[in-house]
Structure 1
Amino acid sequence: MTRAASPDLPAALRAALEARLRGVSRNEAAERAGVISKTYRDGGGSAAISSESDALAYALARMPATYAADIASLNALIDLRPDFAPASLLDVGAGPGTATWATAEVFPSLTSFTLIDANDALRRLALDLAADKGHQISYERGEARALLARAEAADLVVASYVIGEVSEPERTSLADLMWEKTRDTLLVVEPGTPAGYARIIALREQLIAAGAHVAAPCPHDGVCPLQPPDWCHFTQRLQRSRAHKQMKGAEVPFEDERFAYVALTREPVSQRPSRVLAQPAIGKAEVVAKLCTTDGIETARVPRRDKAAYAQARRWRWGDAVT
């Protein structure tokens, strides 16, 4: 069985980020992180990140949760495809290199890392962090579609918290280009909001029509059976370091990152089990779980009298693939 990667930042990455905070006012960095986060929420993307200190503040505040969502999505993928061993990565909208660190953690088979992003401050930080790790990466700065058009195809293409930064027409052409550059698997991760889910579903439908197959989280290639106001999203808990808490102005030692994702493959995955869509209710008499199945949304009720099944269902968690 493939070992799931930890959602917490690798020690080397956390240490590298915090080392760059020495001599920097943490209060000022936290203020900048707050401004940048608001800009993202308001649809401004990375426009507010223009300096080395901006890039560091952003990375300290957002990199841990983004990394956790990327790892959770990758863990779901390798749970279904334990033999997948990509050699090359194309990280679209790479920012400080969060998805690159996550994929390197999950896939030791990776030897080629290509990153693209329009933000020079984030690019410089990503290159510094990669040098600390010893990764040999190629990081091109510029508009995503132009860079994608001339990029080499890769075994694994990742777009993490990116497609929400572009307009709908741009998103459609970007999705086509990303799929064109995907030799094997495309992973797209977005915030776990109704809007983030809607972007994932639109891209999913577009690329299924172009011949893609869903590996995760869906157990089928059909239309999503969820009806508004419901939406498909998952949650990943991560531990907050002291610096992370300072950047977020938080006291709680953990954070729950909600995210939506889809992993699309060139060839259909042979085994696509049902997916747990919310935290199951574990009672003395039964376990009740909301599942997405090949036949649509179902409520599974596993009675305690079925001891083996009940014991198994008690271990189900939100986001798990289950039979």
Structure 2
Amino acid sequence: MLRKIRCSQLSAIYTNFSTKVEIDATLRDNFERKEFKPRSHPGRSQVKVASIPPDILKAIKIILQDSDAKSFQDESVKLNNYIHSRLLPPEEDEIRVKAAKIHQNVSNKVYSKIDKGLSQEEIENVNTKINTTVFNVLKKNVYRWGNISYDKPTSLQYLMARAAPEYAILVRIFDEIKRRIPDYKPRSFFDFGSGVGTGTWAVNTYWKDSIFEYFTVDTSTHMNDLARLILCQGRDNVEMPFKAYFQRQFLPASTDLKYNIVLSAFTLFEMPSMKTRLETIQKLWNKTEDFLIIVEHGSNAGFRIVNEAREFVLNSKRNKRGYAFAPCPNDNVCPRYLEQQTPCNFLMKYETLGLHKTEVVADLFTYVILRKGVRPSDDPQWPRIVRAPIVKSGHTICRLCTSQGELKEIIFSKGKYDQTTYRCARSSNWGDLLPVK
């Protein structure tokens, strides 16, 4: 569910209403020759509504039918709601600070009511009661985090609830790479926390003919079995269509093998602390030759995970040089994180599995694509539209994250802007790059 934001909050976040921009000069001739049209300018995502590929969808329906999926329907909805509402596991330091504060308040309250001297035994009894009270209050005020155990029923529930939105989100993210580097042909793909295999389906949407090796890791054997079964058309007696497709339960210890694209999608919530999350990010960064992609739910907690991974990779002195490929047009500290108002997230529409009827719904996600190497000198670093544009009669308001690491709100009107710039802004959506300088 989208959080409502007050206009006063937005005004406080975005600045420089009078900033003037214009279409990137390198594209001006392309627009004049009509090689580009504003409705399909090079900053626009081509994925509007995504649906699972027909062969994958057919396999899923066979599996769910064989497993009596109807009995899992209610539980799959509960699982989906729980996943969306999860918070990060509390850190030990946070718990200690909270416990000390509660202890101080409880002690002050208890001892303020005692108007006589106490024996040593009485003091010990009072302190025992205080500690018991503190423990009970702390239990109610500390989030009870726990990782999800994916047995066979839970894996099937996850398939029903999460396969469609996760595939759609990953297709949207891979489209960013394909659109900006059309000649890119990855040879290998590593999926950490691969689940039911949505990463493999999505990467094959663009690079099935070029990828030679798939390596997937998931701690759940049931998830691994389900992912393999889906690729085998939902049948046990069908041969795996990919020769170099490997599944493991844990990250391999070897650091020699590297992969062109490394993905961690909707996985880091299962880590018990920031320390283990960052240790995992380091291992994944070491595994990639080109891209490391981190994706999480578009909540505040999900954004915190993505942002800490981004900051860790970009600022760690022991890491090989890298830069933010997307969605950030810069490597500065995220301005959204500094403002702490709303997460940097995006909206993706998708078609449901259609077990009863097919619907088009949407899901929020947050992500970062990190690329090894130095940002190319010809990278235009166009600003990213980070909220849905407000389209009015005669003008459009775009909220942008810029190459300077600032949030700006720009009003594109017919009177102040040329037709190409105006129409590009008016045709753009939340999450698109706007090809202006």
TM over 0.5: yes
Mapping of 1:266-285 within 5 angstroms? 266-267=372-373, 268-269=375-376, 270-285=379-394
- C-alpha spacing 1:86/1:273, structure 2 compared with 1 (3 Å): same
Partner of 2:279: 173
- C-alpha spacing 1:139/1:96, structure 2 compared with 1 (3 Å): farther
Match for 1:125 among 223, 226, 243? 226
2:205 partner amino acid: E
1:122, distance to aligned residue in structure 2 (A): 0.4
Partner of 1:61: 161
Partner of 1:156: 261
Q: Is the 8 A contact 2:383 2:402 kept in 1?
A: yes
Match for 1:286 among 366, 381, 395? 395
Cα distance in structure 1, aligned partners of 2:371 and 2:402 = 19
Cα distance in structure 2, aligned partners of 1:59 and 1:34 = 11
2:242 partner amino acid: H
Cα distance in structure 2, aligned partners of 1:294 and 1:319 = 15
Cα distance in structure 2, aligned partners of 1:265 and 1:195 = 24
Match for 2:80 among 9, 31, 37? 37
1:182 equivalent to 2:288? Answer yes
Question: Number of residues paired by the alignment?
Answer: 313
SS at match of 2:232: helix
SS at match of 2:73: helix
Q: Is the 8 A contact 1:80 1:215 kept in 2?
A: no
Q: Is the 8 A contact 1:68 1:257 kept in 2?
A: no
Q: Is the 8 A contact 1:115 1:139 kept in 2?
A: yes
1:214, distance to aligned residue in structure 2 (A): 0.6
User: Mean alpha-carbon deviation: is it higher for 148-157 or for 226-235?
Assistant: 148-157
1:8, distance to aligned residue in structure 2 (A): 1.3
Cα distance in structure 1, aligned partners of 2:166 and 2:146 = 18
1:138 equivalent to 2:239? Answer no
Partner of 2:203: 103
Match for 1:73 among 163, 166, 173? 173
Cα distance in structure 1, aligned partners of 2:350 and 2:202 = 14
Partner of 1:220: 330
- Which digits, 9 at most, give the CA deviation of each residue in 1:242-272, with x for residues without a partner? 22xx5xxxx8822211000000111224232
- C-alpha spacing 1:104/1:44, structure 2 compared with 1 (3 Å): farther
2:218 partner amino acid: D
Q: Is the 8 A contact 2:75 2:157 kept in 1?
A: yes
Runs of 5+ in structure 2 lacking a partner?
A: 1-41, 87-144, 234-239
- C-alpha spacing 1:45/1:64, structure 2 compared with 1 (3 Å): farther
Select the structure with the greater relative contact order (CA < 8 A; seq sep ≥ 6): 2
- C-alpha spacing 1:97/1:252, structure 2 compared with 1 (3 Å): closer
Match for 1:264 among 357, 367, 370? 370
Q: Is the 8 A contact 1:73 1:189 kept in 2?
A: no
Cα distance in structure 2, aligned partners of 1:14 and 1:148 = 34
Normalized per residue, the structure richer in strand is 1
1:215 partner amino acid: F
Cα distance in structure 1, aligned partners of 2:165 and 2:328 = 23
- C-alpha spacing 1:13/1:260, structure 2 compared with 1 (3 Å): same
SS at match of 2:184: coil
- Which digits, 9 at most, give the CA deviation of each residue in 1:135-183, with x for residues without a partner? 3353333234xx2645721011011111121021110100000000010
1:281 partner amino acid: I
Q: Is the 8 A contact 1:214 1:262 kept in 2?
A: yes
1:303, distance to aligned residue in structure 2 (A): 1.1
1:80, distance to aligned residue in structure 2 (A): 2.4
1:304, distance to aligned residue in structure 2 (A): 1.3
2:276 partner amino acid: E
SS at match of 2:293: strand
Runs of 5+ in structure 1 lacking a partner?
A: none
Q: Given the two structures, how large is their TM-score scaled by the length of structure 1?
A: 0.90
Larger of the two Rg values belongs to structure: 2
Cα distance in structure 2, aligned partners of 1:61 and 1:230 = 26
Cα distance in structure 2, aligned partners of 1:45 and 1:271 = 41
Q: Percent identity?
A: 22
SS at match of 1:155: strand
Q: Is the 8 A contact 1:113 1:136 kept in 2?
A: no
